[in-house]
Amino acid sequence: MRKIYILFICLVLSSCSVLFPEGITFNPANYNYNYLTFNKRLVYNNESYLLFPTSFGDSDFNNNGNLNYVVDFFNEKLGNKITLKNDYKDNKGKLMIPFISGYDITDEEILFLKENTDVKYVILSKILYLNHLKEVSFPRNSKGRFNDSKSGAMSFIKIVDIKTNTILLEMNCVGEVSVSENRDLATGDGKLQPKAIYTDSYSLGEKTMKKLLKKIK
């Protein structure tokens, strides 16, 4: 079995040397965090939480869904203290929250939750990919980060205290990959550069969200 494995590796390396004579380089992603609150801790003293679907892109409408790893994380942390928005129903099975809202929940929507539910906190999340990030504003220390990026994503998590309409926790994580050009533009001789391999924007979206979740206590 070991000989077969070694033979397979040799075949892969030899084919790569033919297809990419200048070699292959792996470009790792760079990650940066922005903490918009000092707090990173959940409240565990029997408080109830409502988890909204994760938004994707710069629109809160028709572009969201429950990510399994986000749901699993908060279920593990909070147990029966958390309910998914789409599971919050009355005794007749009717949804009690009539509006579609994403990360940028409005004061009117918070007021509705305060007056019509017994939920204490709402958990909101969002992922933006590289094609969205050049059109939206983001924290100052991230500005311009994506101008020369080959892939990128930014994930956000926010938890709002419904009763007081204040933010308990808010943070985001930026992931981006910068890759050199395939040809040496400095010398102008057209010399080929090593083939770049890197994580795509959609994979970075998952990685940045998971990194945020690890920061929550």
pLDDT digits (tens, 9 = 90+) for 126-168: 999 987 776 655 555 454 566 677 889 999 999 999 999 999 9
Q: How much is the pLDDT for 101?
A: 75
Q: How much is the pLDDT for 5?
A: 47
Overall average pLDDT of the 169-189 stretch: 73
Contact 204, 153 (CB under 8 A): yes
- Which of 77, 101, 88 lies closest to 169, judged by CA? 77
Supply 68's token pair. 């399994």
SS3 38: coil
Write out the H or E segment, with its range, that includes residue 190: none
- Write 38-43 long-range contacts (CB < 8 A, 24+): 39/168, 39/169, 40/169, 40/171, 40/215, 40/216, 40/217, 41/169, 41/216, 41/217, 42/77, 42/78, 42/159, 42/168, 42/169, 42/216, 42/217, 43/120, 43/121, 43/168
Close Cβ partners of 206 (under 8 Å, ≥ 6 residues apart): 67, 69
Strands 166-178 and 30-35: antiparallel
Q: How much is the pLDDT for 8?
A: 44
Residue 134 sits at the vertex; the CA angle it makes with 210 and 212, to the nearest 5 degrees, is 15
- Whether residue 15 has pLDDT greater than 80: no
Q: Tens digits of per-residue pLDDT, 56-96? A: 876 555 567 899 999 999 999 999 999 999 898 888 778 88
Read off the pTM.
Answer: 0.81
pLDDT band at 28 (very low <50, low <70, confident <90, very high): confident
What is the distance between the alpha carbons of residues 156 and 180, in angstroms, rounded to a whole number?
28
Overall average pLDDT of the 25-47 stretch: 90
What is the distance between the alpha carbons of residues 154 and 209, in angstroms, rounded to a whole number?
8
Q: What type of residue sits at position 19?
A: L
